[in-house]
Amino acid sequence: MIYQIKPVIGKKEKNNLIDYIKKDNWITEHKVTENFEKSFAKFTNSKYCICFPNGTITMSSVLDCLNLKKDDEVLVSNYTMVATANVVKFVGATVKLVDISKKDLCMSPDDLLKKINKKTKVVIYTQMNGRVGQIDSIKKICKKNKLVLIEDAAHAIGSYNKKIHVGNAGIAGSFSFSMPKLITMGQGGAVVTNNSELAKKLRLYKNFGRRKSGEDIHDYLGYNFKITDMQSMLAIGQLRSIKSRIKKKKEIFSRYQKNLKDNLKIKFFDMKKDETPWSVDIYLNSVNKLKKILEKKGIFTRYVYPPLNSQKIYKHIKNLPVSNFYCKKGLWLPSSLDLKNKDIDKICSIINKYIY
Ligand SMILES: Cc1ncc(COP(=O)(O)O)c(C=O)c1O
């Protein structure tokens, strides 16, 4: 059986966690998380990193700190996980969907320009499967129209735009450390930012609005969105081996692409040298047929995210032709970090046999 994706935790990382538990440590969010945050900030070249329980709360927390009002509009790509749009609803603002570009599957700057009006306040930009897309143009548009830019970089650990790690283009970058991500805590997430005021607000917000841990004086309204040092212990080891994780993901993607290059029914969207794919995504007409064939042989795939405007909550939003076309044809192929070359070759030969 080959899973679409499963977590791969090294022996050393597992042992570190066992050692941590054996000692009388604090368990809750403490020094290990502080160290992880410092290391992740260094890795992404950001001034601040603040951990959260997942990559959904990261975004809703940033939005909450921006004090949006009911009529304020937040623009989100139609091709992303539902969390990117739901967080807008949770803070009481209005979701507007933007179509994607045919070049890179990320938000289209042309469609973004069409959707901006006086109510627009924020853009959340998703780096789909680690693709940077046209973030430079998006950044310019946001600057010109005085919009706050947030990056949903849940898929994009290890992706760089002109040598700068994603997450630094706007006020904040959101990362997810859920099970299938390049670094996993089981569940977890982080916000990176270069804005000291936002970093300070987020720290208060995630800790009951408390002035100082160990004291019960609360100057602000806040939640409890802390994580545990056990999670950070797992993640810190993975961060140490991040270079090999990135290398392996790139190798997996290019091996699939090479093996399937002569198959005219399968469309790949290229990855640039500095982009790291989270998984391997292919696009084809007979996506249901391929999924079933592979499943019968014990090979598990997953449909890519359906377009947001095909979900009940966002069905009323129309006219998003590019995302409506591609999101219904996409499949994530097996992409775990321990996937063997011979398995990739086997999967590709099945695809080439049945899809032609
Ligand atoms: C693009 C994107 N944004 C946000 C999320 C939410 O992250 P989490 O599962 O950590 O809440 C995901 C999850 O896969 C995602 O793919």
Give the C-alpha separation, 253 to 286, whole Å: 21
| Number of other CB atoms surrounding residue 315 within 10 Å | 10
User: How far does the centroid of ligand 1 lie from the alpha carbon of residue 161, in Å?
Assistant: 21
User: How far does the centroid of ligand 1 lie from the alpha carbon of residue 140, in Å?
Assistant: 26
* Mean of pLDDT values over 113-138: 98
Give the C-alpha separation, 196 to 202, whole Å: 10
Give the C-alpha separation, 291 to 288, whole Å: 5
Q: Which ligand 1 atom is at minimum distance from the Cα of 176?
A: 10
* Mean of pLDDT values over 343-354: 98
State pLDDT tens for residues 185-217: 999 999 999 999 999 999 999 999 998 888 999
Say if CB 77 and CB 98 are below 8 A apart. Answer: yes
Say if CB 167 and CB 151 are below 8 A apart. Answer: yes
Say if CB 320 and CB 307 are below 8 A apart. Answer: yes
State pLDDT tens for residues 244-287: 999 999 999 999 999 999 999 999 999 999 999 999 999 999 99
Can you give the pTM of this predicted structure?
A: 0.98
Residue 82 beta carbon below 6 angstroms from any ligand 1 atom: no
Banded model confidence at residue 341, pLDDT cuts 50, 70, 90: very high
Q: Give residue 211's pLDDT.
A: 85
| pLDDT score of 65 more than 90 | yes
Q: Which ligand 1 atom is at minimum distance from the Cα of 152?
A: 3
Residue 54 beta carbon below 6 angstroms from any ligand 1 atom: yes
Residue 126 beta carbon below 6 angstroms from any ligand 1 atom: yes
Q: Which ligand 1 atom is at minimum distance from the Cα of 54?
A: 10
Q: Which residues contact 259 (CB under 8 A, 6 or more apart)?
A: 344, 345, 348, 349, 352
Q: Give residue 282's pLDDT.
A: 98
- Print burial letters for 224-243: b (CB count within 10 Å at least 16), e (below 16): ebbbbbbbbbbbbbbbeebe
Query: How far from each other are the two terminal CA atoms of the chain, in whole angstroms?
Result: 24
Percent over 70 (pLDDT), the chain = 100
Q: Give residue 213's pLDDT.
A: 80
**Best mutation site among 62, 81, 187 for ligand 1 pocket (most ligand atoms within 8 Å of CB):** 81
Bridge pairing between strands 280-283 and 164-165 = unpaired
User: How far does the centroid of ligand 1 lie from the alpha carbon of residue 219, in Å?
Assistant: 31
Q: Give residue 118's pLDDT.
A: 97
Residue 55 beta carbon below 6 angstroms from any ligand 1 atom: yes
In the chain, what are the domains? 11-240 (3.40.640.10), 242-354 (3.90.1150.10)
Residue 21 in tokens = 């538990």
State pLDDT tens for residues 155-189: 999 999 999 999 999 999 999 999 999 999 999 99
- Print burial letters for 257-284: b (CB count within 10 Å at least 16), e (below 16): bebbeebebbeebebeebbbbbbbbbbb
User: How far does the centroid of ligand 1 lie from the alpha carbon of residue 177, in Å?
Assistant: 9
Banded model confidence at residue 24, pLDDT cuts 50, 70, 90: confident
Residue 154 beta carbon below 6 angstroms from any ligand 1 atom: yes
Nearest residue to 40 (alpha-carbon basis) of 199, 210, 240, 294: 240
DSSP 10-71: -HHHHHHHHHHHHS----BSSHHHHHHHHHHHHHHT-SEEEEESSTTHHHHHHHHHTT--TT
Percent over 90 (pLDDT), the chain = 97
Residue 106 in tokens = 């990320």
| pLDDT score of 76 more than 90 | yes
Residue 147 in tokens = 């919009």
Q: Which residue type is seen at 3?
A: Y
Say if CB 170 and CB 191 are below 8 A apart. Answer: no
Give the C-alpha separation, 36 to 30, whole Å: 10
